[in-house]
Structure 1
Amino acid sequence: MPDAITLARFNESHIEGITALYNDPLITRQVLQMPFQSTEVWRKRLAPDNERVVQLVALHQGNVIGNLGLEQFSRIRRSHAGSIGMAVAREWQGKGVGSMLLAAALDVADNWMNLRRVELSVYADNEAAIGLYRKFGFVEEGLFRDHAVRDGRLVDTLSMARLRSMPQT
């Protein structure tokens, strides 16, 4: 992977890049976002300053090439868990950007948020993403049949989670 890739916490200067990333038709069909979202939609979605939410961007020469959001659940009885969602620009897929983002997010989840469980959903036919998640210890927990509309059809998604062993006291 090129050395010029850096990770940063999302800020206002990344809005245009995030909007472009998620409006790429090949990206839109692999995430649960609607196409043709405005920068204002993304500004509102990413604006809340909440320490239970970590939004990371991968940058190459200042341009957004990936995004990962990690959110700790706010309900008391689910506060040991969080969820992630991510996207990597198609020209950067398979080049380690997703691994960089996921490793950084899981470090925060483990060492700063003390999460025991991190979960996600992924389209059941997205083999590359499923492979990436497995590499980081995620396992399939269930299949959601006809879970989301994509390309005018109902398609399946997988529920995946990674459980971290907690130190014995």
Structure 2
Amino acid sequence: MLTALRNDIDLQALLLAVPKPNTEQRTRDWLNRRLDDPQGVFFIICDRSSNRGVGFIQVVHIELLHRRGELGLCIEPSEQGKGYATAALGLIERYLQDVFDLRKLTLNVLASNENAIGFYRGINYSTVGTLKQHFYYKQTFHDVLVMEKLFFAADVSR
């Protein structure tokens, strides 16, 4: 499943990744880097009834001092809209708060990816900026939105 996701050129562009051909070994190497990253967490998203992988969710650049991380989420196109992303985000947000005491997640999304933007807004992510002409794909530069979800505000009254 992961190799197929990593070889889907249009899907990789939606993830703001540079698409490259991936063998099973390259995918294993990528997965091992994700799992070995001390500033990140990575989980496979599975269908509960079949235990078949349908995507993945990761948080990278976890900064414990600032109590934030950067979200990445990928669901197979044929499995989107079935609640997997909502369930996975609910679980990982609780995990990050309970284990790392994170207070905020950020993410980047193509400004043209209306489905993803609508999804994130629906679960209380807000747009905090636009990176103009930030991502190059198919001979065009694309804007990227920066979104965030604040679990709780920091006490700044000190």
Give the TM bin, normalised by the shorter chain: 0.7 to 0.9
Which of 81, 85, 91 in structure 1 is aligned with 2:72?
85
Q: CA deviation at 1:119?
A: 0.4
* 2:133 aligned with 1:149: no
Deviation larger for 60-69 or 107-116: 60-69
Which of 28, 50, 63 in structure 1 is aligned with 2:12?
28
Contact 1:22–1:33 (8 Å) recurs in 2:
no
Structure 1 segments of 4+ aligned residues over 6 angstroms from their partners: none
* 2:101 aligned with 1:110: no
For structure 2, which runs of at least 5 residues remain unmatched after alignment?
A: none
* 2:25 aligned with 1:40: yes
TM-score normalised according to structure 1 size:
0.78
Q: Secondary structure at the match of 1:37?
A: coil
The one-letter amino acid paired with 2:122 is K
**Structure 2 partner of 1:55:** 42
For structure 1, which runs of at least 5 residues remain unmatched after alignment?
A: 1-16
Q: CA deviation at 1:167?
A: 8.7
RMSD: 2.2
Counterparts of residues 90-101 of structure 1 (less than 5 Å): 90-101=77-88
TM-score normalised according to structure 2 size:
0.83
**Structure 1 partner of 2:146:** 159
**Structure 2 partner of 1:13:** none
Q: C-alpha deviations, 1:42-77, integer Å up to 9, x for none?
A: 323321435542211122334321111013534x64
Q: C-alpha deviations, 1:66-110, integer Å up to 9, x for none?
A: 111013534x643x1101111111101111111122111111122
Count of residue pairs the alignment pairs up = 150
CA distance in 1, matches of 2:140, 2:153: 41
Q: Secondary structure at the match of 1:112?
A: helix
Which of 49, 62, 86 in structure 2 is aligned with 1:73?
62
